[in-house]
Chains A and B, each alone.
Chain A
Amino acid sequence: MSKIMIGIPKALLYYKYGNLWITFFEELGCEIIVSPNTSKKILEDGIKYSMDEACMAMKIYMGHIYYLIDKCDYILVPRLKCVKKHEKLCTNFSALYDLVSNVFDTNLIHYNIDVDHKEDEFYAFTTMGLSLGFSYRKIVSAYRLAKQKEKLLKEREISKQKVLIASSTKIKILLAGHPYNLHDEFIGKQIEKILEENNIDIIYSDRYDDKYLEEEVKVISKKNYWTFNKEIMAAISHYQDVVDGIILITSFPCGPDSLSNEMILRNVKIPITNLIIDEGNSDTGLLTRIESFIDILEERRKNHE
């Protein structure tokens, strides 16, 4: 029997759970294909297969699905409703599965998480494994291993960032936003490139140890139930004392961000700028905004010295 080929779109939740998914399927002995970095073609395909109102990150996601069709047996499209008790995610994450299955004629794997209704991550992985025909024992051991590796990789990234903060003398900017915006070729990477050309050290909001999340998030918002936005807020309050400035990245139009950005902009104590990226963006506007922001940070440093 040939191996099952699983397709994983390199967009949205990949940037959060990618390591976990890949190790899990590897341990089960599946073949994995991850779509490449977003290219102009992927973005254009995504726009073609999306409704106008979808956010740029969603459009990119649809482009990645289109890329994977016919290249694998199943595509992993998660349906995430709630990952932390009494908290919420953007409704797009619960709609994603149905959206994709309505637009494309392809096999998807069932992967549902709704902690408020007792469907946690472990449950999601077991149902997913069972539906592919693997034994319960094999699934559990693959999941445990995947969890361990995920933790290890995350810790490694965080400690690398800690070393950078401790050793860097250059201007440091915190890139804050959803991981799928920060690391996408057509959203965060564009900004990253400009910052690197300007000799800036970049700190990422998703490389953050969430041990004190609940306390740290309160600096910015006392009551908030958007899980992913809480993570951004907590990371901002955690890092704001060790960086020179913050660039807050949003893909247009984002519902939860429109609320949380406002709270962040009001409560942050250091220079911050909000860049909203859509598919029609020109680089010139982006460049002007980032360059002037860097000028502000440089002047501030000179004045403090």
Chain B
Amino acid sequence: MNAYLGVDIGSISTKGVIIDDDNHILASSYIWTKGNPMEAVKELIHHLEKEIGKRKINIIGVGTTGSARKLIGTMLNANIIKNEITAHAIGTLSLYPDVKTIFEIGGQDSKIILIEDGIVVDYAMNTLCAAGTGAFLSSQANRLGVQVEDFGRIALTSKKPTKIAARCTVFAESDLVHKLQMGYKKEDIIAGLCQSVVSNYLNNVGKGKKIKAPIIFQGGVSKNIGVKKAFEEEVGNEVIVDPNGHLMGALGVAILSKKNPLKTSFKFSICEDQFETRGVECNKCPNHCEIICISKNKKLIDAWGNRCSNGDMMSKTSNH
């Protein structure tokens, strides 16, 4: 049976799926990136291999997306490397063909994707700061001594959410400390944080965008039921959170690799190969580009980061 692998490597988590020709998910995995995308991917592939077990599959397409898409794409010899906006849209559309709006809040960035008649017509990403993303919520959970996973459940118990200034992470934090010292209840503050994430999102990423239902909410923060509820109150519409919401990027890029007529070969044994990255500063012109070199079993397979041909590592090695 032919199968396709999609990998989505985010700042916080790494997601992977294997699908068949009918886009059915055969195996999926979701693990922490822990700042080491290459190791995370190896672990991910290991998990996927275990889940596939004795089923006979032949992976002929590999797609990568997310912030480490290029690095991992090189490592896995992907036949498609796609940005996360398109990947998420394709993945979501395969399950919800009528979707009009996708909210996505991840670890470091947040996005809004607007869709009309099954195609993406507009998008936006957070521009200047990461206020109101997953990283912000987990640092605040830490401060409050609560598991971030419990945030949503606690938020729902609040009857009177506290208002928290969330324009900026730094100000939100000092406002939160102030509210705590004033004696506000913890659950009210947590509910207030959830609301502030939503109002920050809608006033920043969602500014000036026409939000139409059906709305799908994804990314790590979508697991927080408090934020979901705050979104519903704010936009006045149902907001759908799919149990597989975190896999949409990986699913999307797996579908794209299936559509690509150019195929690749992939073996689970890739986990045994040794991959290494090395940063080199090029001193051949005043730009001092930092070039990243990727090697597989001590052999250079790709390099990037140079602004001009002076820093072209690949052609240099092939010349010699």
B237 contacts A by Cβ under 8 Å: no
**B-side contacts of A300, CB under 8 Å:** 119, 121
Assuming the contacts A39-B285, A40-B286, asked whether A292 and B86 have C-beta atoms less than 8 A apart, the reply is yes
B31 contacts A by Cβ under 8 Å: no
For A, the interface residue count at a CB cutoff of 8 angstroms equals 20
B80 to chain A, nearest CB (A): 12
Determine which of B84, B120, B208, B288 lies in contact with A296 in the assembled complex, contact meaning CB atoms within 8 Å. B120
**B-side contacts of A291, CB under 8 Å:** 82-83, 86
B123 contacts A by Cβ under 8 Å: yes
In the complex, are the beta carbons of A41 and B286 less than 8 A apart? yes
Determine which of B82, B120, B208, B287 lies in contact with A299 in the assembled complex, contact meaning CB atoms within 8 Å. B120
Assuming the contacts A39-B286, A42-B286, A284-B67, asked whether A271 and B122 have C-beta atoms less than 8 A apart, the reply is yes
Determine which of A41, A42, A288, A303 lies in contact with B84 in the assembled complex, contact meaning CB atoms within 8 Å. A288
In the complex, are the beta carbons of B123 and A296 less than 8 A apart? yes
In the complex, are the beta carbons of B208 and A265 less than 8 A apart? yes
Give the contacts of B64-114 with A (CB-CB under 8 A): 67, 82-86
A276 contacts B by Cβ under 8 Å: yes
Assuming the contacts A287-B83, A288-B85, asked whether A296 and B287 have C-beta atoms less than 8 A apart, the reply is no
In the complex, are the beta carbons of A292 and B120 less than 8 A apart? yes
In the complex, are the beta carbons of A303 and B119 less than 8 A apart? yes
**B-side contacts of A288, CB under 8 Å:** 67, 83-85, 125
B94 to chain A, nearest CB (A): 15
**B-side contacts of A299, CB under 8 Å:** 119-120
By DSSP majority rule, is chain B's interface helix, strand, loop, or mixed? loop
A289 contacts B by Cβ under 8 Å: yes
How far apart sit A287 and B71, CA to CA, in the bound complex (Å)? 14
B259 to chain A, nearest CB (A): 13
Residue of B83, B85, B125, B285 with most partner-chain A CB within 10 A: B83
For B, the interface residue count at a CB cutoff of 8 angstroms equals 20
Q: Mark A169-181, 1 if CB is under 8 A from B, else 0.
A: 0000000000000
A295 contacts B by Cβ under 8 Å: yes
Closest to B85 in A: A292
Q: Mark B268-300, 1 if CB is under 8 A from A, else 0.
A: 000000000000000001111100000000000
B244 contacts A by Cβ under 8 Å: no
How far apart sit A86 and B181, CA to CA, in the bound complex (Å)? 56
A133 contacts B by Cβ under 8 Å: no
In the complex, are the beta carbons of A296 and B122 less than 8 A apart? yes
B318 contacts A by Cβ under 8 Å: no
B92 to chain A, nearest CB (A): 14
Q: Mark A237-259, 1 if CB is under 8 A from B, else 0.
A: 00000000000000000000000
**A-side contacts of B309, CB under 8 Å:** none
Give the contacts of A168-203 with B (CB-CB under 8 A): none
A289 to chain B, nearest CB (A): 6
**A-side contacts of B287, CB under 8 Å:** 39-41
Assuming the contacts A39-B286, A276-B127, asked whether A271 and B83 have C-beta atoms less than 8 A apart, the reply is no
**A-side contacts of B117, CB under 8 Å:** 303
A62 to chain B, nearest CB (A): 16
Give the contacts of B34-88 with A (CB-CB under 8 A): 67, 82-86
Give the contacts of A246-305 with B (CB-CB under 8 A): 265, 271, 276, 284-285, 287-289, 291-293, 295-296, 299-300, 303
4 closest residue pairs by CB, A with B = A292-B85, A39-B286, A41-B286, A291-B83
